[in-house]
Amino acid sequence: MVSNLGAFPRPVLMALAAAERLLTRRAGASVVLADPEDLGGSDRSVVARARVARNPFSLPRTLVVKHYLADPEPGRPDPFHHEVASCQLFTALPSEARASPELIAHDPQARLLVLEDLGRSSTLADALFGPDPAAAQRCLLGWARGLGRMQATTAGRENDFGALLRRLGERSWRDPVAEDARAALAGVSAMLTDVLGVPVPDAALRDAQGSARLLGGTRYRAFSPSDTCPDNNLVTSRGVRFVDFEGGCFRDVALDAAYFRVPFPACEASFALPPGVTAVMLDAWRNEISGVWPDLDDPELLGRRLLDAQLLWVWLCTWWLLPRIRGRDALLGPDPTRTPRISTVLAHYWREMAASAAAAGRHASADLGVAVAEVLRDRHIDAPDELAVYPAFRSVA
């Protein structure tokens, strides 16, 4: 029975009690968890750390428990299944190649995972909102290297992932953003015209729709956590570790590498990066994946794929975010100290895409990006003209 309860929320205590039952069944003797610590989670799940107070077999001193609170949406992939399969995929790898916490046990009926505790690690978000620009840059480079290493390690393992999902009852899987991305490529052109009064040239529409090739079965596919926002990346003594695989999938590696350019599309903590940091992150990432995909060392080939991915994310973020400011501007997330205005972040996405498109000779997309950014700025004159860099870099900006 969970000890040292204190004034903990009932969902946390229920999660740890379920974990005790699961571990006790596995061990054939009583396992007791103590000193629970609420790690947050979301409206869909509870995440907590606990000390193993009674340990009849070789368990770590502490564990992390994740308990899904709700059943999956009918007709939609089950995020619990995706998280279990993702953790199983990494747990089967050697520890030095593992990009996630080890999966110790899971219970499909209770919708529960028991995971390795990576310790009281800070997150990438902690570094980006901290006081030390050098530490923030080191963490960004570690994240870029970790992303590339994870992609290189999981290349060619898509069938294994599919088999793990089928064992959990998922007949098929898909990238959780793919459906919205295709809707965006079909609908954003009319949205820009209707909401902002910006017509989309046919050439710019063809550019954007061409990016849909990244959603198909390309030869540059690897595992993606799908949600790699800064607070889902732990900075540990063994490097960056990724957590939260509710949308774990396989997709083209450029879609995650484009996070360097956008950056962190539609994440609540989506601020700008200082000049030069994107290029250094890209080099760190490319060094990790070049052994698996040596042709991506070709700057022209990689540049085309990254621009396609950047276009796709900008159109998708517009599909998600522009309807939220049809009436008036709003914050991207709930915490005003850690999130930008939607109009400012969308204008930044379009402006940065315009610069990339102009450098690549895609002038219709470049002109469209400039036009959208200008209208967003003019419509929301009380919002900042430029997206600020992350707080860690502001003292040196």
On the question of pLDDT at 2 being above 60, the answer is no
Q: Using a CB cutoff of 8 Å and minimum separation of 24, what contacts does 120-126 make?
A: 121/234, 121/235, 121/236, 121/241, 122/234, 122/235, 123/230, 123/231, 123/232, 123/233, 123/234, 123/235, 124/230, 124/231, 124/233, 124/235, 124/240, 125/229, 125/230, 125/231, 125/233, 125/269, 125/338, 126/235
- Averaged confidence pLDDT in the chain: 92
Q: What percent of the chain has pLDDT over 90?
A: 77
Place of tokens 């000779």: 361
Q: Which CATH number fits domain 10-116: 3.40.190.10, 3.40.470.10, 3.20.20.10, 3.30.200.20?
A: 3.30.200.20
Q: Give residue 9's pLDDT band: very low, low, confident or very high (50, 70, 90).
A: confident
Mean pLDDT of 218-222: 95
Per-residue pLDDT tens digits for 33-42: 999 998 876 7
Retrieve residue 238's tokens. Answer: 């063994």
Task: Choose the weakest-confidence range: 9-13, 92-96, 202-206, 336-340.
Answer: 9-13
* Three-state DSSP class for residue 344: helix
The CATH class for the domain spanning 122-393 reads: alpha beta
Given a contact cutoff of 8 angstroms between Cβ atoms, the answer to whether 337 and 391 are in contact is no
Per-residue pLDDT tens digits for 250-260: 999 999 999 99
Per-residue pLDDT tens digits for 21-37: 999 998 788 899 999 99
Mean pLDDT of 187-198: 98
Amino acid at 348: H
Cα separation, 41 vs 39, in Å, equals 6
Task: Choose the weakest-confidence range: 155-169, 225-239, 356-370.
Answer: 225-239
Q: What percent of the chain has pLDDT over 70?
A: 97
∠ CA 106-112-114, nearest 5°, is 55
Per-residue pLDDT tens digits for 147-156: 999 999 999 9
For position 41, what pLDDT does the model report? 66
Residue 114: closest CA among 23, 10, 33, 13? 23
10-116 and 122-393, same CATH topology: no
Higher pLDDT, 13 or 313: 313
Retrieve residue 187's tokens. Answer: 């609908």
Per-residue pLDDT tens digits for 305-331: 999 999 999 999 999 999 999 989 999
- Residue ranges per structural domain of the chain: 10-116, 122-393
Q: Within 10 A of 122 (CB to CB), how many other CB atoms are there?
A: 14
∠ CA 173-175-178, nearest 5°, is 125
Task: Choose the weakest-confidence range: 36-45, 61-70, 89-98, 230-239.
Answer: 36-45
Mean pLDDT of 56-83: 87
CB contact set of 322 (below 8 Å; sequence gap of 6+):
191, 192, 195, 196, 346
Residue 67 phi, psi (nearest 5)? -120, 120
- Describe the strand order of the beta sheet including 233-236 as a list of residue ranges: 122-123, 233-236, 239-242
CB contact set of 151 (below 8 Å; sequence gap of 6+):
222, 223, 224, 253, 256, 288, 289, 292
Query: If residue 123 lies in a helix (H) or strand (E), which one and from where to where?
Result: strand 122-123
Per-residue pLDDT tens digits for 327-345: 899 999 999 999 999 999 9
Alpha helix positions (H), the chain: 10-27, 79-91, 124-128, 133-154, 158-167, 178-191, 202-210, 253-257, 277-289, 299-321, 342-359, 363-379
For position 90, what pLDDT does the model report? 96
On the question of pLDDT at 3 being above 80, the answer is no
Q: What is the pTM of this model?
A: 0.93
Q: Give residue 396's pLDDT band: very low, low, confident or very high (50, 70, 90).
A: low
Task: Choose the weakest-confidence range: 24-28, 82-86, 104-108, 139-143.
Answer: 24-28
On the question of pLDDT at 7 being above 60, the answer is no
For position 397, what pLDDT does the model report? 52
Residue 43 DSSP class: S
Residue 156: closest CA among 75, 86, 226, 221? 221
On the question of pLDDT at 81 being above 70, the answer is yes
Mean pLDDT of 45-52: 92
Cα separation, 230 vs 241, in Å, equals 11
For position 277, what pLDDT does the model report? 97
Higher pLDDT, 57 or 397: 57
